[in-house]
Structure 1
């Protein structure tokens, strides 16, 4: 069902509430942090241009406010903004999006490796599969 009638401008509040309860990530995290927090600790990394073409940076500010307020556990992730960057900014402050889109692997593999090392079980083999 549509959230609003394009002819009258009327908003269907029932649809809006359904969307909020089922698709609003900040709302869901805030509502269910006591159940989800332990599993998400250290796993949330958000990158956003502060001049997002779709104004998504505004939603990211709200998400960041919530994440920074978390306790038991604290989210232990990161939220970064690209100064004057647009939609799809991915965390690299030194290159334009057209370049950084070509290097996701080289940007994120080190972060993934760090997460694996940090969260690996005590006796995990962290060396034999690492190529130099």
Structure 2
């Protein structure tokens, strides 16, 4: 989701060698494009504003592809992967459709817990634009470099989007989050999570977000049902200097998943020291280098071969 699975990887001769070697699983890569009037993706979920894309993908697109191409229509054979927006989408699709998808790679995802919506706690903070320390109010940053230098603030970015297009039609990042997560407003557009001029947070909208799209909250509240279907299938990576502070929500997800029982989650996490947005993990062969595409493909191959039922003939895999 959010682009082809290996987005950001560098294709080289090593990928060709992997693809042509005997004994490796074969894949069909599907890049899901689900643009809306609000953004170039609908986040691959059902939304009252953007439409029922989650249902369309799982009940129409995937069955159609599996009927037209040499694909194995089984959960273990459907692997999800994506980064940033696609990272959130992969986890959301795994959470909302746990019977459909197998191994899931979540790379530097958008906020998976709205206690850290970037650096905003939509439940406890009164204002999105400022951190109130009592004796001083400071504009809350939205983006940084990996040395910690602030690029721009939440207020600056929201003001830019407000100027670029009203009613979440700017095509910007904060706009698409509202378009995806919010209830329908009285004007027919997404109801804002906060006043775009003042930054004052609407707690009723925040509660709607929590119940419908806070992935960490949904997992914890529904673990008895979801847990047995996703345990051991999810791997999350993020740099600990993610440029948009997305690592903070991942820390909360990790802490929650480590407490899960019956079953234990076995959700795995990698945090890249001093790594920014776009980090997918370290090379297993050389921990000082980034994970290469052929190394990731080898992981997929191992997963497919290990999980293929005995009745599946080898010529379907190799």
Cα distance in 1 for residues equivalent to 2:250 and 2:259: 14
Write out per-residue CA displacement over residues 25-70 of structure 1, whole angstroms, 9 at most, x where no aligned residue. Answer: 1111111111111111111110000011111111000000011111
What's the TM-score once normalised by structure 2's chain length?
0.36
2:317 alignment partner in structure 1: 129
In the alignment, is residue 39 of structure 1 matched against residue 229 of structure 2? yes
> Root-mean-square deviation (CA), in Å?
2.0
1:107 alignment partner in structure 2: 295
Which residue of 249, 266, 287 corresponds with 1:59? Answer: 249
Which segments of 5 or more consecutive residues in structure 2 lack a partner in the other structure?
Answer: 1-190
Structure with the largest fraction of strand: 2
Cα distance in 2 for residues equivalent to 1:116 and 1:42: 14
Alpha-carbon distance, 1:6 to partner: 2.7
Structure 1 residues 120, 74: closer, same or farther in 2, change over 3 A? Answer: farther
Q: Is the 8 A contact 1:43 1:77 kept in 2?
A: yes
Cα distance in 1 for residues equivalent to 2:205 and 2:199: 14
2:203 alignment partner in structure 1: 13
Write out per-residue CA displacement over residues 112-132 of structure 1, whole angstroms, 9 at most, x where no aligned residue. Answer: 2232244333544457733xx
Alpha-carbon distance, 1:107 to partner: 3.2
Cα distance in 2 for residues equivalent to 1:128 and 1:5: 54
Q: Which secondary structure state, in structure 2, belongs to the residue aligned with residue 16 of structure 1? A: helix
1:95 alignment partner in structure 2: 289
Cα distance in 2 for residues equivalent to 1:128 and 1:116: 11
Q: Is the 8 A contact 1:64 1:79 kept in 2?
A: yes
Alpha-carbon distance, 1:23 to partner: 1.3
What's the TM-score once normalised by structure 1's chain length?
0.81
Which segments of 5 or more consecutive residues in structure 1 lack a partner in the other structure?
Answer: none
Q: Is the 8 A contact 1:2 1:12 kept in 2?
A: yes
Structure 1 residues 49, 117: closer, same or farther in 2, change over 3 A? Answer: same
Cα distance in 2 for residues equivalent to 1:17 and 1:34: 22
Cα distance in 1 for residues equivalent to 2:263 and 2:196: 43
Larger radius of gyration: 2
Q: Is the 8 A contact 2:305 2:317 kept in 1?
A: no
Cα distance in 1 for residues equivalent to 2:213 and 2:295: 28
Q: Is the 8 A contact 2:220 2:256 kept in 1?
A: yes
